[in-house]
Amino acid sequence: MLKAVVFDDEYIVRQGLSQMIDWQRYGVELVGTAGDGLSALEMFREQRPDIVLTDIRMPGMDGLRLIETVAGEAGDTMFIVFSGFNEFEYVMRAIGLGVVDYLEKPITVEKIDEVMRKTIERIDKQQAFSSMKSKWEASQQELLEKATLNLLLAGDTALGKWKESYGPDWENIAGITVLAFSSECVELAESTSYRIVEVTNGADRLSVVLHFELPADELWEQLMLQGGDCELFAAGGTYASLAEAPKSCKEALRALRYGRFLEESGLIRIEDMEGSDELAGNLTKHEESVIFSLRTGDKKGLLGALDEFEASVGEQKLDPEQAEREILQLVYVGLEVLKETGRDIRSLGKVAHQELGVMHTREEMFRWLRSKVEAMLTAITEARRSTKHAAVEKALAYMEERFGQDISLQELAEHVGLNATYFSLLFKEEMGLSYIKHLTHERMEHAKVMLRAGMLVGEVSEKVGYLNYRHFTETFKKLVGMTPKHYREAHSIERKEDGHA
């Protein structure tokens, strides 16, 4: 049922309209009356009526100011104004404010009946239009989501249809980033610098960020602040070309997978997982699974990936030459992972090609593939045992010296002479946490020392590598249990007490 209010400084008008009009015949409930403008505004804010019948001249706040204020807060409100003799100028101003109608006093039941019928008809049309608009917008949004999913899967070939679904404003898009989520926990606020399109692909929950300006500093700030208490979610790379959407999507899903293995939480960016990974190109899902299992030392996962690969080759009914090419490609991918440990693989590739070339049946080829890949896993595991301590110690010293600088995974891996992804897994295995978490803890410990010494919070934030003051404050509070300001104040009291002792 619609709601209406009556505002007039004449008691007889308020009472007359309350008692003489059968409001329910219009599907309307009269929820209140007020005799002055200020009380009227307060009642409007409490009741949020659909229809306001108001006198133009009232004490406290006149009807025109009331209409201006209410229209600014609830633009779809219907206004009917009462006017007395010689108030033509006020009436014209009211009409200019968009009132539905005006009634000259004295007000009769017949006048109210006529204007209420007109108002209800207008509300019905407005609601019907709003309903149609909502349905159209929902339909357009659904079409955009489907087109966006196709863009993530097909890239350049789906770009034309996507532009049609998005509309001419696609030309304002400066870049694209894909986010992958493990749970529902991050709701990005609307922004003038980006738009979010959410899609699902099977079990994958994805958000496609369409940037209107780059670099995307506002986005990263929001994600770091909002994602602090969330389960894991991951970001692929940011690309200026919309055709690179599949690449960003694959990177986001890959970062999510590594993040789960490393037991991370909050935001993980592909840069924190891989750096510039030579193997992060156009890989098949089987190749990605083999790489992941070799890097993480997951023998069960590796055997499962090989089973899926063999089943896939069988379903495609490849001839022997095609099957050999597919198997060799998988072996070469595995050798590249072995290369990350520092081992020379040049001769191994040639030997693999020669050995596979003399086999004639698919069973022989896959038996050989399993033995080769399992041998790689053993070699990678042994190499990790012999190198991890020295590499991690070197990395820890590097971070201690440069904790106030922006240290990327790629920079750290190059310093210790290892592949970035291999190093990140090695660091987690040795230290029990990722390099980025260790670096964060290191920075907070140095921040505590500086705050205890009386340094200002803003100065400390910069010295420990946080250019964003708010991000530093939120991170400090999460790890230490109080804000940097409160921590500084608490230790300031301790210093004073020690001084008096």
pLDDT, tens digit, 9 for 90 and up, residues 227-251: 555 678 889 999 999 999 999 999 9
Under the banding of pLDDT at 50, 70 and 90, the label for residue 51 is very high
pLDDT at 501 over 50: no
Please state, rounded to an integer, the average pLDDT across all residues of the chain. 84
Structure-token pair, residue 100 = 């539905």
- What pLDDT sits at residue 327? 87
**Which secondary-structure segment (H or E) carries 82?**
strand 78-83
pLDDT at 88 over 70: no
First to last CA, the chain: 73
Contact between 276 and 340 (Cβ < 8 Å): no
Gap between the Cα atoms of 156 and 177, Å rounded? 16
Contact between 152 and 201 (Cβ < 8 Å): yes
Q: Which residues pair with 207 in a beta bridge?
A: 179, 198
Q: Which residues pair with 141 in a beta bridge?
A: none
pTM, 2 dp: 0.57
Q: Who contacts 252 (Cβ-Cβ below 8 Å, separation ≥6)?
A: 178, 179, 180, 206, 234, 235, 236, 270
Structure-token pair, residue 230 = 């969330």
More confident residue, 172 or 296: 172
Structure-token pair, residue 358 = 């003399």
Structure-token pair, residue 9 = 């400084």
pLDDT at 447 over 90: yes
CATH number of 2-107: 3.40.50.2300
3-state secondary structure 119-171: HHHHHHHHHHHHHHHHHHHHHHHHHHHHHHHHHHHHHHHHHHHHHHHHCHHHH
Instruction: For the chain, give every domain's residue range.
Output: 2-107, 147-273, 285-388, 392-500
Gap between the Cα atoms of 227 and 42, Å rounded? 39
Gap between the Cα atoms of 484 and 234, Å rounded? 28
- What pLDDT sits at residue 97? 67
For residue range 396-440, list pLDDT tens digits in order.
999 999 999 988 888 998 998 888 888 888 888 888 888 888 999
For residue range 136-149, list pLDDT tens digits in order.
777 888 999 999 99
pLDDT at 278 over 60: no
- What pLDDT sits at residue 347? 67
Q: With CA atoms as reference, report the closest residue to 85 among 53, 57, 49, 111.
A: 57
Mean pLDDT for 98-118 is 85
Q: 87-95: list long-range contacts, CB under 8 Å, 24+ apart.
A: 87/56, 87/57, 90/56, 90/57, 90/63, 90/64, 91/56, 93/64, 94/56, 94/63, 94/64, 94/67
Residue 347, judged by CB atoms within 10 A of its CB (0-12, 13-18, 19+), counts as exposed
Secondary-structure class of domain 392-500 per CATH: mainly alpha
Angle between helical axes of 469-480 and 484-500 (0-180°, round to 10): 70
Structure-token pair, residue 452 = 């205890």
For residue range 195-208, list pLDDT tens digits in order.
999 998 888 889 99
More confident residue, 161 or 325: 161
Residue 400, judged by CB atoms within 10 A of its CB (0-12, 13-18, 19+), counts as exposed
The percent of residues in the chain predicted with pLDDT above 90, rounded, is 31
- Indicate the SS3 state at residue 55: strand
